[in-house]
Chain A
Amino acid sequence: MFGGYTEGIIILLCINSIAAMGVSLLTGFTGIFTLGHAGYMALGAYVSSLLIMKAGMPWLAGIFLGGTGAMLVAWLVGIPTLKLMGDYYAIASIGLGEAIRLILENWQSVTRGARGVPGIPPYTTLPVALAFFLVMAFAMFCLINSRYGRAFKACRDDYLAASLLGFNTAKLRVLSLAISGFYCGVAGALLAGFLSFIQPIMFDMIKSTELTSVVVFGGLGSMSGTLIGTGIITLVTELFRPISQYRMLIYGAVIVIIMIFRPEGIMGQKELGKTFFRDLTRRLKPADKRHGGGVKR
């Protein structure tokens, strides 16, 4: 249907979106800032590809087990570390992400260390990636509009008030991390099947930073913003490939500029939906009687 290149970009877009949705749930909806989620992607990628290649599992089971493996680790890690707040957790998450990468790099007998795992069967085709993306996006939108989603947001907006209202905030935070670990794990597993080759260095801190900054770019607390942000960043990075030297420079500068001029991201906390378009059309109507068209908060 498409050329190989376009197809590749669409697959990459799906994979990045799945990972970004995971981070968005944690950072945007639960208010826990993370800088180590590439570690969970690495776990998903390694668990699934090793299970598929060494244990001869079908790839679908491999992807699910990769995601589940990442989820389990996230859950185990979350119980003790999510007692930490704010910047303490951010630094701890760098440590955890790097620790996962270093373990993969040094556990030579299983992971082949820094040389990476070549020859993974290319199971991530366009329909597979699209199907995973659609199912997981649907599940995520259901989740954030459910009781749990509102509980996560309550944790984000006021941790103390939420716990006074009877929410088990500690448990909710761990749950949010576990789900986001699952999303990142599945994304990692799909990435392994897409590239046919994985290496620990692919999941370093720069990747983690990218995941988080995409979420911030889209708008903290907006899932559709996250998807738009991922789309824009993935496409822009592809467009800038010819001037790859300046790519990362522009990318860094864009993050700073967004933080200065529109720190709430593209979408803020709004979701793309009926109300969003209604607000937009209302704002675009000229000569509104209300004082000042767009009310600034």
Chain B
Amino acid sequence: METVLQQVINGLSLGSVYALIAVGYSLVYSILLFSNFAHGGFLVIGGYICYFILRSIGGGIWIASLAALMGAGFCAVLTEKLAYKPIRERTNVTLYLLIASMGMSIVIENIFVIIAGGRFRALPPVIPTQPVSLFGIATTSMFDILSLVTAVVFLSGLQIFLTRTKWGLAIRAAAYDLRVAGLMGVNVNRLISIVFFTAGLLAAVGGIFLSVRYTLYPQLGLITIKAFIAAVIGGLGSLPGAVVGSLILGLAEMLTAGFISSQMRDLVVFLLLVITLLIRPTGLFGKDVKEKV
């Protein structure tokens, strides 16, 4: 029983980090209707900025993470302006955007291979990882609780931004129809920049936690495949879906690792994806879009 509870907490903590990444990815999907494969790059950018500030400048974790969040956000906007904007202005074929995003993910990964080298780096011990006892029932690490809390804070922040502000309203409108939102007077380019900034920022939060969990290396971005899968399980373009999908994924992964074998965890994740898509092809919360003839 104790181990179950412990694995559940671990799973929720991992799932909440996936959720931070999946929500940003899903947000971009809901506006531009393409899978942004460069999303993993934003996470790596966040992780490396945090690492360099902690190591070479010697700032505290607050400064480092603030810089990482802003830096990743700006890089996301820059990626959009450089690679996606020229394409989406020319054509509405989302396949081209998808392929360009694959290219961008290779570019970002290899920029870090060149400037930082391919080796694994451990972040300085800025986030406490000592074990804590939860009311005497289970022990878990401080890190897991912190990442869960941080994810909840950022996700609620996003929720408030989307529901209480004018730009949030515009984003929700654009998720229904970008063109119509543009016709209603929304500055579409600025809106897309804001969406990418938000996505990059959330990815960087996830990136910092992931680089503490798994150490930091240029290919860390590949882990976003799991966030993509979570978003697909939850239904592409749906934010609650992305969160629920991520939590399911995190739990499945940790419970498999705890009770079956840790080598099987990735396999279980992919099986979960295939099974979900077979039962509900649009994901758990996906909009059932009927094609017009």
A105 to B262, CA, bound (A): 13
A80 to B264, CA, bound (A): 23
Are A249 and B111 in contact, CB atoms less than 8 angstroms apart?
yes
A255 to B38, CA, bound (A): 13
A90 to B35, CA, bound (A): 9
- A260: nearest chain-B partner, CB-CB: B86
Complex partner residue of A213 from B93, B99, B109, B293, CB under 8 angstroms: B99
Are B86 and A90 in contact, CB atoms less than 8 angstroms apart?
no
Residues of A within 8 A of B269 (CB): 95
Within the complex, the shortest CB–CB distance from A91 to chain B, in Å, comes to 5
Are A209 and B229 in contact, CB atoms less than 8 angstroms apart?
no
Are B267 and A102 in contact, CB atoms less than 8 angstroms apart?
yes
Are A96 and B111 in contact, CB atoms less than 8 angstroms apart?
no
Are A263 and B236 in contact, CB atoms less than 8 angstroms apart?
no
Residues of B within 8 A of A248 (CB): 106, 109-110, 113
Within the complex, the shortest CB–CB distance from B32 to chain A, in Å, comes to 11
Are A98 and B266 in contact, CB atoms less than 8 angstroms apart?
yes
Are B99 and A252 in contact, CB atoms less than 8 angstroms apart?
no
Q: Which of A236-257 contact B (CB under 8 A)?
A: 245-246, 248-249, 251-256
Are B274 and A92 in contact, CB atoms less than 8 angstroms apart?
yes
Are A88 and B232 in contact, CB atoms less than 8 angstroms apart?
yes
Q: How many residues of A contact B (CB 8 A)?
A: 41
Q: How many residues of B contact A (CB 8 A)?
A: 49
A84 to B86, CA, bound (A): 29
A205 to B222, CA, bound (A): 9
Are A260 and B229 in contact, CB atoms less than 8 angstroms apart?
no
Within the complex, the shortest CB–CB distance from A3 to chain B, in Å, comes to 31
Are A91 and B35 in contact, CB atoms less than 8 angstroms apart?
yes
A202 to B83, CA, bound (A): 29
CB of A94 within 8 Å of the partner chain = yes
Are B99 and A216 in contact, CB atoms less than 8 angstroms apart?
yes
A13 to B219, CA, bound (A): 27
Interface readout for B251-279 with A: 1 if CB under 8 Å, 0 if not? 00000000000011011011101100110
CB of B155 within 8 Å of the partner chain = no
Of B111, B232, B269, B291, which is in contact with the most chain A CB atoms at under 10 Å from its CB? B232
CB of B100 within 8 Å of the partner chain = yes
- B282: nearest chain-A partner, CB-CB: A88
Complex partner residue of B263 from A33, A106, A159, CB under 8 angstroms: A106
A95 to B269, CA, bound (A): 8
Q: A245-B113, A248-B110 are in contact. Are A256 and B267 (CB under 8 A)?
A: no
Q: A95-B270, A245-B114 are in contact. Are A88 and B34 (CB under 8 A)?
A: no
Q: A249-B110, A259-B96 are in contact. Are A91 and B103 (CB under 8 A)?
A: no
Residues of B within 8 A of A213 (CB): 99, 102-103
CB of A99 within 8 Å of the partner chain = yes
Of B34, B97, B107, B271, which is in contact with the most chain A CB atoms at under 10 Å from its CB? B107
Are A84 and B91 in contact, CB atoms less than 8 angstroms apart?
no
- A83: nearest chain-B partner, CB-CB: B281
Complex partner residue of B107 from A81, A252, A263, CB under 8 angstroms: A252
Residues of A within 8 A of B225 (CB): 94-95, 98, 205
A96 to B109, CA, bound (A): 23
Are B91 and A87 in contact, CB atoms less than 8 angstroms apart?
no
Residues of B within 8 A of A159 (CB): 291
Q: Which of A253-272 contact B (CB under 8 A)?
A: 253-256, 259-260, 263
Within the complex, the shortest CB–CB distance from A204 to chain B, in Å, comes to 9
CB of B104 within 8 Å of the partner chain = yes
Residues of A within 8 A of B90 (CB): 263
CB of B228 within 8 Å of the partner chain = yes
CB of B6 within 8 Å of the partner chain = no
Residues of B within 8 A of A106 (CB): 263-264, 267
A91 to B26, CA, bound (A): 13
Residues of A within 8 A of B4 (CB): none
Q: Which of B179-233 contact A (CB under 8 A)?
A: 222, 225, 228-229, 232
Residues of A within 8 A of B263 (CB): 102, 105-106
Within the complex, the shortest CB–CB distance from B252 to chain A, in Å, comes to 13
Known: A98-B225, A255-B103. 14 other contacts (CB 8 A): A81-B274, A90-B35, A91-B229, A92-B273, A95-B269, A99-B270, A102-B270, A160-B293, A220-B95, A249-B106, A252-B109, A256-B82, A259-B103, A260-B86
| A residues adjacent to B (C-beta < 8 A) | 33, 80-81, 83-84, 87-88, 90-92, 94-96, 98-99, 102-103, 105-106, 159-160, 164, 205, 209, 212-213, 216, 220, 245-246, 248-249, 251-256, 259-260, 263
Closest 7 CB pairs of A and B: A252-B106, A255-B103, A252-B107, A256-B103, A259-B100, A249-B110, A95-B270
A–B complex contacts, Cβ < 8 Å, 20 sampled: A81-B274, A87-B236, A91-B228, A95-B273, A99-B270, A99-B274, A102-B270, A103-B267, A105-B263, A209-B106, A212-B99, A213-B103, A246-B114, A249-B114, A252-B103, A252-B109, A253-B107, A256-B100, A259-B99, A260-B87
